[in-house]
A and B are shown apart, each in its own frame.
Chain A
Amino acid sequence: MSARAVRVAAAAPLLAVLLTAGGILVTHGQAPGAAAPCAAATFAHRVALVVEHGNGQSLRECIGFDSSTITGEQILQASGIEFATVGYGSLGDAVCQIDHEPASYPSTCWTTTSPYWVLFVARGGGSWSTANQGVSSQTFGDGDAAGFRYDPQTGGAPPPVSPAGACTFSAPTSPSPAAARTAQASAVSSAPAQTVAPPTPTAAVSAATAGATQSPGVIGVVPASRAASQKPASVDTGLLLAAAGGGVLAGLLVVQILIRRRRTA
């Protein structure tokens, strides 16, 4: 009886370590999905999309669409940028995660103190203003810009960087001149956006005659520093320690229960 107990106690930590190591490799093995810009498609309308991370890094894209308006959620879907939402019933969806920021969130999407994604709207090259509707009901038309900024909830909510350069139309002005200058300078100094020429009337007609069933897609992406990629696969020391210690504690528990049972028997 006690020899079996000792064997169980010795096997438990080993098993726990193996299981945990397997879990790490499986989870870290997946590669983040990359969006392939659909340069061939032509669209009747276009909106600019700006996603600004908490660390200041930003993504800028030009999204084309054929219907008269497009919702913020459709823009995100068309952009190919990773995002996740939580449904709030009749209030629509809330954006919880964009481009893997934050890495995880509670089932209510955010807490009263946690950072969250704020949606900004710029109409026809105007300046940014915060959206008064949720991401699934806020609509955008041709020449508008949608801005998502990860707000740390530590102070005011300044608007995201200018979407200048994302699409060919004029960009909304940023309230802070210095920020606008740096944003535009960086847009100019970086490689020119891979925008295609504005759709010619014939192209628009041909798209319309084709049935106009194409879904919104990416027209151009401003080359920007993407958020840091995931860490390479490595065995976490803390996790190994926890697995080994937990295994020892579980083994001790099993041994104690077996000893007690033998005493009472």
Chain B
Amino acid sequence: MNPRALGAWSFAALTVALATSNPIYRALVLLCALDVLVVFRRRGTHIRGLLLAVAIAGVVALAITVLFSHTGTHVLVRVPDAIPALGGPITVEAVVFGATTALGIAAAIIAGAALSIVVEPHELIDALPGVLARSGAALGTALNLIPGVGRSAVEIRDAQRMRGWRPARVRDWPDIAVPVVLTAIESSMTLAESMEARGYGSTARTHFSVSTWRPADTVVTGCALAAAGIFVALRVIGVVGDWYPFPTVTVPPVNVLAACCCFALAAPLFAWRR
């Protein structure tokens, strides 16, 4: 698969998931994204941590929505009015709306996470258009340095302790901070020199591996962008609208064409070979 086609698919899934608050469309996008993630994930990648993060984000969104939207007909419990902002009834409808919000967040995260789990990070940087390639490389390098700084901080702390360093006050911390900053500067100079030695900054762009554009990529990109375009158009003309469970929960309306747009996001499952 081509990283650019995957980027187009990810963008389309994100657009559809965020275009409406209707939980049925969001659930369909989430299912498509999960399928793509499970079928095409690289060997050695783990999605358990991602699913845990999605679950935590969903629970937080659910809790916030339930505690702060005091409307709806069916009251579960009543928080005393003395508590500011939280006081008021907690309703079944608010729980449903919280679940809808969590569904949207989950769909958006999974659609975005496909970019880093299905293709290699360097493939993504290569896929950026020429204008953004250097910014992308700089950003990627900077993000790569953060764990490096963490590692060097731990090493320096251990070394100082072996020399009998026992921090008692905040004023003792420069003993670690100064060497960490100096090491970071030194390692970034080394990195810059090695990148320059490999031709970074010259006019000709080099690629370690060349990703080819196959007919299947055209199919995926076409389906995804058409789905997002038609869905947004349906939203603009009012066929697809927002859905709210207040004052009572109703079955969300589903438009056949809009549902087909969501299904079109499953195109990678049929077009790409795994």
Contacts and interface: CB of A to CB of B under 8 A. Distances in A.
B245 A104 contact: yes
B34 interface: yes
B247 A237 contact: no
Given A109-B71, A245-B28, A249-B31, A238 B259 contact: yes
B264 to A, nearest CB: 11
Given A104-B245, A105-B246, A241 B251 contact: no
A204 interface: no
A256 B266 contact: no
Interface string A141-156: 0000000000000000
Closest 9 A-B residue pairs measured CB to CB?
A107-B69, A238-B254, A249-B31, A84-B247, A104-B244, A86-B71, A238-B256, A242-B259, A256-B38
A241 B65 CA distance: 30
A154 B247 CA distance: 25
A27 B250 contact: yes
A237 B256 contact: yes
A239 interface: yes
A23 B251 contact: yes
B38 A253 contact: yes
Given A97-B247, A107-B97, A245-B28, A239 B69 contact: no
A150 B255 CA distance: 26
A246 interface: yes
Nearest to A100: B247
Contacts of B58: none
6 contacts: A20-B251, A105-B246, A107-B65, A108-B69, A241-B260, A256-B38
B92 interface: no
Contact of A24 (B31, B88, B251): B251
B70 interface: yes
Contact residues on A (Cβ < 8 Å of other chain), bracket:
20 to 34
Contacts of A86: 70-71, 246
Contact of A252 (B35, B243, B246): B35
A256 B37 CA distance: 11
Nearest to A102: B244
A252 B32 CA distance: 10
A106 interface: yes
A86 B69 CA distance: 9
Given A241-B254, A249-B32, A250-B31, A87 B245 contact: no
A245 B94 CA distance: 27
Interface string B5-33: 00000000000000000001001100110
B269 interface: yes
Contacts of A253: 31, 34-35, 38
A190 B222 CA distance: 59
Contacts of B35: 249, 252-253, 256
A238 B70 CA distance: 31
A109 B71 CA distance: 9
Interface in A81-139: 84, 86-87, 96-97, 103-109
B18 to A, nearest CB: 16
Nearest to B266: A249
B256 to A, nearest CB: 5
Contacts of B266: 249
A174 to B, nearest CB: 31
Interface in A1-46: 20, 23-24, 27
B242 interface: yes
A248 to B, nearest CB: 9
A260 interface: yes
A124 B66 CA distance: 44
